Chain A
């Protein structure tokens, strides 16, 4: 079964640090870009970061640049999000997702086709 399972979400004080993990199973993890998306309580989805298959390329939303670091360990089929200098506005459910790159009529598109169940981070 194709699956992503996040862990690591807890209650943390402002200014604190936390590392989220996401373990993949049922597919060749090292073949895919991977993404973190978050959702604050009662709010919409926010794309946070993603990482290339070999970890060599990473992108971030501006609000987390310099504070969060996305990484991966392909030997462990694991994706991580190191979160430093946490703020109240980082409180959210954090989802990891698989980035599927798809060819349609000669053009390439990305979509998040597999999602974990989410892990809750509370900064208070």
Chain B
């Protein structure tokens, strides 16, 4: 199975900061990657698919980039409601695999 890693595992940033989360795949997954946001006690929410396509209704401060093995999720101007854990998920092959998550705390 493809292994997904994320860095950092957690971060703390201030409102208005630019935040970048990295996801790395153990092999080339083209751009078959999505990003999900999960708040405590809630179901995950799709933010980005195909590495860089913004899901409908998701604020434009979220963006994704990358292909192959290295991907990033960027929040251009962090907002209080962005406090959550973010996961990447590869949909290149089966079994699908999630990254371990990055917890974002908004100061």
CB within 8 Å of B: which residues of A? Answer: 35, 37, 44-47, 50, 59-62, 95, 97, 100, 102, 104, 107, 109-113, 115-118
Contact A45-B101, Cβ < 8 Å, known A59-B95, A109-B91, A111-B55 = yes
Q: Check: B36 CB closer than 8 A to any chain A CB.
A: yes
Give how many B residues have a beta carbon under 8 Å from the other chain's beta carbons: 26
Contact A111-B49, Cβ < 8 Å, known A59-B94, A62-B95, A95-B44 = yes
CB within 8 Å of A: which residues of B? Answer: 1, 31-32, 34, 36, 38, 43-46, 49-50, 53, 55, 85, 87, 89, 91, 94-101
CB pair B50–A109 under 8 Å, yes or no, is yes
Q: How far is the CA of A60 from the CA of B95 in the complex (A)?
A: 6
Q: How far is the CA of A81 from the CA of B96 in the complex (A)?
A: 17
Most chain B CB neighbours (cut-off 10 Å) among A59, A102, A107, A111? A111
CB pair B53–A112 under 8 Å, yes or no, is no
Name the prevailing secondary structure of the A interface residues: strand
Which B residues are in CB contact (< 8 Å) with A59?
94-95
11 A-B residue pairs with Cβ-Cβ distance under 8 Å, sorted by A, are: A44-B99, A44-B101, A45-B38, A95-B44, A110-B49, A111-B34, A111-B91, A112-B34, A112-B44, A115-B43, A117-B43
Contact A45-B98, Cβ < 8 Å, known A102-B53, A104-B50, A115-B43 = yes
Which B residues are in CB contact (< 8 Å) with A62?
1, 95
